[in-house]
A and B are shown apart, each in its own frame.
Chain A
Amino acid sequence: MTDALLDVEHLTMRFGGLVAIDDLSFSARDREITAIIGPNGAGKTTVFNCLTGFYKPTVGRLTLKGHDGERHLLERLDGFRIARAGVARTFQNIRLFPQMSVLENLMVAQHNMLMRASAFSIAGLLGLARYRDAENEALGLAEEWLRRINLVESADRAAGTLPYGDQRRLEVARAMCTKPVLLCLDEPAAGLNTRESAELNDLLLDIRESQGIGILLIEHDMSVVMRVSDHIVVLDYGEKIADGEPEAVRNDPSVIRAYLGEEEDSTLPPEVADDMQSDAGARG
């Protein structure tokens, strides 16, 4: 047991005969961005789904150090309890509440706090001060995040009508409104243009600096991964093939092999190759 924020030990997930994740161990620290990368089908999203309770891992232990240093064994908790323990996530294909307003999306994220304050709606129905204070506090937090993602003007718009990039950032902000200790982002840069992608990078770095939480990131976009992450875990066919700082991982022969394939002349997907090249140049 380490003092890490999240310890994943011997995580294995089987679907029938298919082994999606095989004996994976890694850890993530707070104030760090940990990226999980790997070719398509390497099992990245499955790791997330195990972490956030959508799947029950076949084997393994997932320990989270919660808000007050208390340890939670995530593999034993229901999905919504994991969220309460301090793990927030976003989804590969955005899952906002499309008909509800932007502000309402952020308020739903603070449901548990508000529910307690409203004494299961009774204080709320009676309009007691204790509930109104809690609601104002929640509105304050929501407004703060709206400012960070620059959406104050759109607070009353239906979330589903926002441009794609704004929806992405709103989903991150919504996750942050649950006041997590660990934020899991599933391909947050997917489908974003260069400008939106840069905005997202800034948001992630801002969260790491100002909130002091850990971020776990699945990403295909190497420019994002190399620029923001402190620590990279590389998966291939459900197994960990590398784990370390970006510089080390980039030069790891097994990583290059996983992306390039075994044979000499098989081609790297062009965008990945370009990203890795340009990034190596930019850094070095």
Chain B
Amino acid sequence: MDYFIQQLINGLTLGSIYGLIAIGYTMVYGIIGMINFAHGEIYMIGAFIAVIGFTLLEMAGLGFVPLALLVVLLASMAFTAAYGWTLERIAYRPLRGSFRLAALISAIGMSIFLQNYVQLLQGARVKPLQPVVTGGLTLLESEGFVVRLSYVQIFIIVLTLVLMVGFAAVIGRTALGRAQRACQQDRTMATLLGIDVDRTIAIPFVLGAALAAVAGVMVAMYYGVVDFFMGFIAGLKAFTAAVLGGIGSLPGAMLGGIVLGLVEAFWSGYFSVEYKDVAAFGILILVLLFRPTGLLGSPEVEKV
């Protein structure tokens, strides 16, 4: 039971991170109907900027943790968002209206480029980060097994919740959200109505990148290491989460992330750590087979 609770906590933490990355996939897919293949790399960049930021602040002697956290979060979100914008501008916008495979392939190219770009600039080695937030709560203690909820985990789960609520409000209630939905449904009509389509399409890339940066900051704090290759698997899993929740649906992305995080935590906890990725992809295949619209997605009626 204690072990179960511990895995539950770990799974929720991991799931929050996947969910935040998954939102980027789901938003981009929602508006242009394409997978942003380089999104995992964007998340990796966010994590690198976080480690660089924390290290800089430590060198500068900024000891007040909440302030350091805030500064690093904002900096990482801002710089990573610039990468998201550039990605759309270079790899997607010139190919809008071209055939689908072309855009997907240019995104794969972008993903390879960014990976090697970071490797060249920052080196291939794993970068460690000194723990920023330490300590935690002991929830249960029995038979020598301790269930711990660390402050980092609390931070991750709470911040994810806050961001989700804020985000849902932005998309649901503002002109920005309306423009997004208009472009989703009919891009030509949206143009005729005076919506700046270029900007509207760029926004999901930018917002998605900012959220991926938050996930990057969290991962850097949680695991304490980053490397240039970390975006590949994380991206794949976050995409799985987005599909699991129903691609195009924001709450779905979060739910999918949580479910995937839990599955992975329990699989690692009770079966084998080596095959946790296999379990995640297995889920992807199962979902696509039996419920291709995901948990919260709306069914697509085939237009004939």
Contact = CB atoms under 8 A, between A and B. Distances in A.
Asked if the two chains touch in their complex, CB atoms less than 8 Å apart, one says yes
Interface in A17-75: 45, 49, 54
A15 B304 contact: no
A97 interface: no
A244 B156 CA distance: 70
A91 B301 contact: no
B143 interface: no
Contacts of B141: none
B300 interface: no
A54 B301 contact: no
Nearest to A79: B304
A92 B303 CA distance: 11
Interface in B260-303: 301-302
A54 B304 CA distance: 8
Interface residues of A, number: 6
Contacts of B301: 15
A181 to B, nearest CB: 21
Interface string B173-204: 00000000000000000000000000000000
A91 B301 CA distance: 16
A45 B303 CA distance: 11
Interface in B141-181: none
Nearest to B302: A54
Interface string A75-113: 000000000000000011000000000000000000000
A41 to B, nearest CB: 15
Nearest to A92: B304
A91 B304 CA distance: 7
Contacts of B302: 54
A45 B301 CA distance: 14
Nearest to B301: A15
Nearest to B304: A54
A124 B301 CA distance: 38
Interface string A186-206: 000000000000000000000
A15 B304 CA distance: 15
Contacts of A91: 304
A212 to B, nearest CB: 28
A275 B302 CA distance: 33
Nearest to A15: B301
Contacts of B304: 45, 49, 54, 91-92
A102 to B, nearest CB: 22
A92 B302 CA distance: 14
Interface string A224-268: 000000000000000000000000000000000000000000000
B98 to A, nearest CB: 15
A84 B304 CA distance: 19
A248 B304 CA distance: 32
B49 to A, nearest CB: 45
Contacts of A54: 302, 304
A71 B97 CA distance: 46
Nearest to A45: B304
A175 to B, nearest CB: 14
A12 B191 CA distance: 39
B36 to A, nearest CB: 27
A49 B301 CA distance: 12
A54 B303 CA distance: 9
A91 B303 CA distance: 11
A49 B302 CA distance: 11
A45 B302 CA distance: 13
5 A-B pairs closest in CB distance: A54-B304, A49-B304, A91-B304, A54-B302, A45-B304
Interface of A: 15, 45, 49, 54, 91-92
7 contacts: A15-B301, A45-B304, A49-B304, A54-B302, A54-B304, A91-B304, A92-B304
